[in-house]
Structure 1
């Protein structure tokens, strides 16, 4: 009786015969054409998304640097001109000149 309790007793099923059947089922499943097509589709999707992410990053870099080089100086210059026009109007009102509307250029 003592030797049977150490080995797990007679109530437990033998697992060695079931593991061969399970491994052969897993082998059949992993080697099936559906699984291989799924793996190929996942690989293709990963490749396309990686390329898309890389090209999107390049496009964002180009757009960002173009904005900094061309648009930001334009915005700064327009702001300076607006401040200059406001200063002229303020000085004209202090000197007593009649308020005039700025001419459109």
Structure 2
């Protein structure tokens, strides 16, 4: 800027150092972000996240189906088998107390 009385004109120094370095950083960052390798990396990361999300959801659904099927079908069967084993054991104890020869169950 000139001083108005004539003299030497000096460049405006306010922020010139930071703007040139920001300009360089902005240009380098912009060129890195726009490179095809970064673009393909971001696209691959997005694809991996999408597949992982779908896999997690389908795994959760499969676990829910397997868990409820187990509860409905197999837990009552296990309880009934345990009752049968207890009843058989009780009959064997009663038979041994009464003096009857122990029978082998098939």
TM-score by length of 1: 0.82
Matched, 1:90 2:86: no
Runs of 5+ unmatched residues, structure 2: 1-15
Corresponding pairs, count: 91
Deviates more, 1:15-24 or 1:56-65: 15-24
Name the SS of the counterpart of 1:70 in structure 2: helix
Larger Rg: 2
The Cα shift of 1:71 comes to 0.6
Name the SS of the counterpart of 1:14 in structure 2: helix
Distance in 2 of aligned mates of 1:67 and 1:46: 31
Where has structure 1 moved over 6 Å in runs of 4 or more? none
Residue matched to 2:37:
34
TM-score by length of 2: 0.81
Residue matched to 2:80:
77
The Cα shift of 1:15 comes to 2.6
Name the SS of the counterpart of 2:58 in structure 1: helix
Residue matched to 2:58:
55
Runs of 5+ unmatched residues, structure 1: 1-12
